Structure 1
Amino acid sequence: MRKQSEHLFKIGEIAKILGVTRKTILVYEEMGLLTPAVKDEASGYRYYTADNMTQIRAIRSLQTLGLSLAEIREYYYDTENLDRYLDRLMDLRATLDRNIHLLQLRATKPGDLSVHRVRLPRQVCFCRRYQCTDAKDAAIKLRDTYIAAARTGKMSMGSRMFTVRAGSSCKELDLLCCIPVSEDFVGEERMEFAETSALCIYYRGAYEGINTAIDALLAYVQGNKIQATGGFRCIYLEGPPNRGDHTEDYITQVALPFSENSGGCL
């Protein structure tokens, strides 16, 4: 069968134009996500329109966001559960926003102690308190808390673990180790943290040097007569799981909640 119109494209042309494989296009058809404009049953030749190209690009975009082909099919054709798909896409957007933010933070230079104003979200956490001897001991205690939280089956995948300095001195390693969990977690380790304004420094470097950022943040708060409303939080953005022994690339958000009614801040 000859190509019937200049407005139709063969599968090989579509694959080349869009940078996909023929197999990918055929899989989309098998999943019911794509129907060729013309299909010659005798020869098996398929012809596609510009609209089909738009469909393929849309499917690829949703795959890039993290949706499976089954989820994409439901997204297009399941009109009964639209709220579920909206929530899923909102979660994916939040993940993308976090990753974009993290990439921006990776540009932070060692020694940059710039102070930023942020909003810390409301969180429910699995928490345990420890008296730690040093940064290495603190890392071990945080890992132990993480393992215990994971065993509850309620750990939140979208939020970062953190520690709070519970002692009266910023030099003490009296730490509350906090692992975000789902709202329905129930247990003696459950603690809730309200949404709050905070000042923070994105510290790049080994954990042993975090006090440098804490000291700088404390000096800023005292110099501007700002009233702190909680302990220093160390929120672990980049660390050993994906940076290994390259401690110079660790990124920790050192944050201090403050009252909006105090002093002159950022």
Structure 2
Amino acid sequence: MPADRIPIARFSAITRISQRALRYYDRLEILVPEARDPFTGYRYYTSSQMELGVKIKAICSLGFSLEDLKTYLQAEACGDWDTVDSLMEGRLSAVRLEMLRLKRIEALLKEERTELIGMALTEPAVKDVPALRVICRKETGILSPTIEKLIGELCSFVDLPASKRNQLKVIGPVIAIYHEDCAKGNENDRERGDEHVSVEAEAISDWSEKEVSIEVALPIAGKVEGEGSGIEVKSLPAARMLSMIHKGSYPTLHKSYQSVFKYMAGAGLEVAGPIRELYLSDPCKTAEEELLTEIQIPYRKER
């Protein structure tokens, strides 16, 4: 065997990448072996590939996804340092969020009595939300009555004979999407401390008293026929969100917004798009104090 022909087992030991991962990287064309035996199919690497293997191991150890890993390597290969820097900054923001989350967990665990369910409900978490195909309707109006009206119109559309004929089905919870800019306010207001409600939370609590732009969506499967009366079919884009579960009545949602915005301020994050609320409980069958609502906030590093 030539000296510069390294079998996969030895290359795995040198780079500390498992053989299974090396085979996977080969399929994804992230790290392709220099040669392959035409009879046995054995993979062989060269000494010149060791540096790339070690680099891949180091990047993965920082918590980058495979997609980000590919983007990083491609950007570095063509000298696109802006993309490399952007990936590093994004990962740093995610690490800081995770550190804040772990500090909160540490504080809770130090309490004599820790309610694990309460911790799960009150702890913001980073969540990759997939794209969703929905039917939706948008309108400007007072918060609660407008949401109820739009939900009724969407449900009526699903119940139409044409929708039933096309096996149109709702496959997820009702989603309210807020297009108002709730992230206004100055930095001093957002750093007041626990005894003050953040500017953003105050803005959201004020929505119940004024007209705002609201979109209500229902995740669906099946064919849609006869769009009209303001109802449209579209795909809500995939996004990385800061997610938090609120337990309690809808008028108390601002308390959870207060917590999540304080969390964002501590991590140097800002709102980066429309906020979503997912109503996980049926208010007709669930007591107010037991209602579960998921808040999803797209975020980015403060500019």
Q: TM-score, normalised by structure 2?
A: 0.44
TM-score (normalised: structure 1): 0.50
Structure with the higher helix share, 1 or 2:
2
With a CA cutoff of 8 Å and minimum separation of 6, indicate the structure with the bigger relative contact order.
2
